[in-house]
Structure formats: structure tokens, C-alpha cells
Amino acid sequence: MMQTENLFPASEFCRYYNIEITFLDLLKDYGLVEVVTVEERNYLDVTELQEVEKIIRLHYDLNINLEGIDVINQLLQKLEETQDELVMLKNKLRKYEN
């Protein structure tokens, strides 16, 4: 039996957020979330729960379709990478200033 200690049951997540399990299937199909199947039960990795919550808010509260959410996620990821690079370059610059 595979360990499920870092996994959260998808059915409980859907029940808590009052969404259909098929919505998670759509997110999985778009590559927005990874759904893990263990013994015929679907789970979400606990490290992804915040991301899935954000996607739910974007979709249901702001009425953004999945294509739009995918674009937003890509832009946010690129922004984060750029910010990381900026911090690294600032640190390098500080070494040369001293």
C-alpha cells in the first residue's frame, strides 16, 4: 500500500469547497494540478492545496476560465523567476561594490 500521509483526499477537498470532482479532473487535464490515484481513490498533494484554492477563487469568484487561469499561472511563475533572478543579481552586485 502506498503512503498517503502527504496526500489529501480529493473527495473531501471537493466537499469542503462545494465543487464537483469533475472540476479537479479538468484542472488535471489542463496541467494545473496533479491528482494522485492510490487504490482507486484520488488525492491532492498537500503542497498543492493552496494553489488549488487560488484556482478555485479565480474560477468561481472572478469567473475566469481555465485557459485564463493557465495564462495567469504562467505569468505569475515567470514573475517569480524574474524576482528570484533580480535578488541573485543584487546579491552579486553587492559583492562587487564592497
User: Does the structure show a pLDDT above 90 at 3?
Assistant: no
Q: What domains, with CATH codes, occur in the chain?
A: 7-97 (1.10.1660.10)
Cβ neighbours of 77 (radius 10 Å): 10
Query: What is the maximum span of the chain, computed from C-alpha positions, in angstroms?
Result: 59
**Mean predicted confidence (pLDDT) in 32-52:** 92
Residues in the chain: 98
CB 43 within 8 A of CB 9: yes
The pLDDT value given to residue 2 = 56
pLDDT at 1: 47
pLDDT tens digits, 53-67: 999 999 999 999 999
Residue type for 18, please? N
Flag whether the pTM goes above 0.95.
no
Decide if 11 contacts 21 (C-beta within 8 A). yes
